[in-house]
Structure 1
């Protein structure tokens, strides 16, 4: 019997029980961290329509035609490998409804390390959590190992 694939989001759970229900539209991510994990997994699984769906209405890509954005997201996802994710911090919604997640995404393109740390902002749109925007840093831009960062120590400027 072949091994059961683990979820690309690095939760340690099987994909089928972890992010697949979100990707298939069977459930909404219950919080911003799960949405962020499911989006990383969606890149790994080439689920470009899900990536579009989970963009907040205020995200700049939402001003463009859906078909164009989905095509670009699919091409980006296919050109990269996604060996793992480390969630470094999660902030529950504040009084304005904004929730933040800090993560270290392992990403490779043709064997070249394209990994990054991002502090992402999420907001609920009445249906589910959606990706609003983020601040991205490459490991070489940091003065400390990426895994040592917290939401409080992430250099957002």
Structure 2
């Protein structure tokens, strides 16, 4: 597997960007390095957020479900666009708000704290995931800027999020 970013020793010992409280080495790095699959959709969401934070575009591509719209596009173009996005953003935290799983499908509601040139670009997203037989994969999501949501994030549930997404 070709990686865009190989974590250095110092990166591995730092707290994981996903906010789990564990070191990156103990948390998301094994997924990024291909040593293991995320055990559930929440873990995949955490590992994808961490991949944005550390610049691992190859992992982001690998964990897209084959049904994701970007899978119909040129892989190299998608990776270039991801690199530009990652370069312009600072990833300041992830908060999992709610999740549901039924068999091989799952939904995860989360708050991503992201800044671009000092401007808060944080958003709440309801993401859908499917297990493809090998691991959990990101299918699609509905994102709403944090500023448009009038309740504290920890009061949001998947059911309540739909009232803001309409």
TM-score bucket (shorter structure): over 0.9
Q: Counterparts of 1:1-157 in structure 2 under 5 Å?
A: 4-94=13-103, 97-155=104-162, 156-157=165-166
Q: Distance in 1 between matches of 2:120 and 2:160?
A: 23
More helix per residue: 1 or 2? 2
Structure-1-length-normalised TM-score: 0.93
Shift of 1:74: 1.4
RMSD value over aligned CA atoms?
A: 1.4
Structure-2-length-normalised TM-score: 0.88
Q: Distance in 2 between matches of 1:69 and 1:129?
A: 20
Which stretch of the first structure deviates more once superposed, 13-22 or 146-155?
146-155
Q: Distance in 2 between matches of 1:43 and 1:27?
A: 18
Q: Distance in 2 between matches of 1:148 and 1:68?
A: 38
Would the aligned equivalents of 1:42 and 1:51 in 2 still touch at CA under 8 Å? yes
Q: Distance in 1 between matches of 2:147 and 2:17?
A: 24
Would the aligned equivalents of 1:104 and 1:147 in 2 still touch at CA under 8 Å? no
Would the aligned equivalents of 1:139 and 1:145 in 2 still touch at CA under 8 Å? no
Q: Distance in 1 between matches of 2:91 and 2:154?
A: 17
Shift of 1:143: 2.4
Cα-to-partner distance string for 1:40-64 (whole Å, 9 max, x where unaligned):
0000000001000110000000001
Q: Distance in 2 between matches of 1:30 and 1:74?
A: 26
Cα-to-partner distance string for 1:51-109 (whole Å, 9 max, x where unaligned):
00110000000001111111111111111111111000111225xx3200000000001
Structure 1: runs of 5 or more not aligned: none
Q: Distance in 2 between matches of 1:59 and 1:122?
A: 10
Would the aligned equivalents of 1:32 and 1:100 in 2 still touch at CA under 8 Å? yes
